[in-house]
Amino acid sequence: MEMKALPHEVVSLFEELREAGEEFVFLPEPAEKPEPECFTETARDVKDSAPRGEESLEEFGSRISNCRRCRLHASRTRFVFGAGDPQADLMFIGEGPGAEEDRQGLPFVGSSGQLLTRIIAAIGFKRDEVYIANMVKCRPPGNRDPQPDEIAACEEWLLTQIEKIKPKVIVTLGRYSAYFFLRREGALRTMRGIVADFNGIKVVSTYHPAALLRNPELKKDTWQDMLLARKIYEQQGGSPSSGEVFKPGGDRK
């Protein structure tokens, strides 16, 4: 690298300081400013990859699986991107992976996931006919709630997922996913029954399955929310499901 000559005044100053016993060590200026630790996965790697329109959902998930955009990467076992039909018309979005999800790298496979599978079946779908994901892709330590900056770090990934899947209806599971899509906060009971619009996609919000395991009395409200989601799904022209909606007493819709 070509060295630039220092101005005479600067050289004189250094000579005076050296005579006074000062020592100097000059380090080359770094070519690029290092990125903060929590962003070391680098948006640069993402930006320089293939145009997003040319990537499949699976390719996209693989590309971002080493993400280090937030602190959650430090304690994860596996990146939990999502699972299901990449062309699903119905998408479920929870809050964050739990311990079993972190171990397997799949969303909703623990006890709350088993309950979600039964709920999905009750409105006529198999799990592989819908798509399931979370707001954040790495497990928050101790299954705590995801923090705002963690949700913000994962927002691009979630929005790209939605863009590629193009669901007709999104069902949010839990308050944090409801907050994100409804753009408001408050008790989840105040957001139930609202059919919101998110970039042309209809959104229905309900309780997280984990809340139903703790408070079984919420199951009735959740079932009403799921029936609403199914109704909106049909109104939006969603693809026929392989099953039928459950009706008490054995009758079928």
pLDDT computed for residue 248 by the predictor: 78
Nearest-10 Cα torsion for 135, 214, 89, 169: -80
For 133, the enclosing helix (H) or strand (E) is: strand 131-134
pLDDT computed for residue 97 by the predictor: 97
Using one digit for the tens of pLDDT, what is the confidence trace for 129-168? 999 999 999 999 999 999 999 999 999 999 999 999 999 9
Q: Which pTM does this prediction carry?
A: 0.79
| pLDDT tens sequence for the chain (253 residues) | 444 444 444 445 445 545 545 444 433 433 443 333 333 333 334 443 445 558 999 999 999 999 999 999 999 999 999 999 999 999 999 999 999 999 999 999 999 999 999 999 999 999 999 999 999 999 999 999 999 999 999 999 999 999 999 999 999 999 999 999 999 889 999 999 999 999 999 999 999 999 999 999 999 999 999 999 999 999 999 999 999 999 877 554 4
**CATH class for the region spanning 35-238:** alpha beta
Strands (E), 178-243: 195-198, 201-206
Q: What is the DSSP string of 78-105?
A: S----EE-TT-SEEEEES---HHHHHHT
pLDDT computed for residue 2 by the predictor: 43
Cα–Cα distance, 155 to 181 (Å, whole number): 11
Size of the chain, expressed as the number of residues it contains: 253
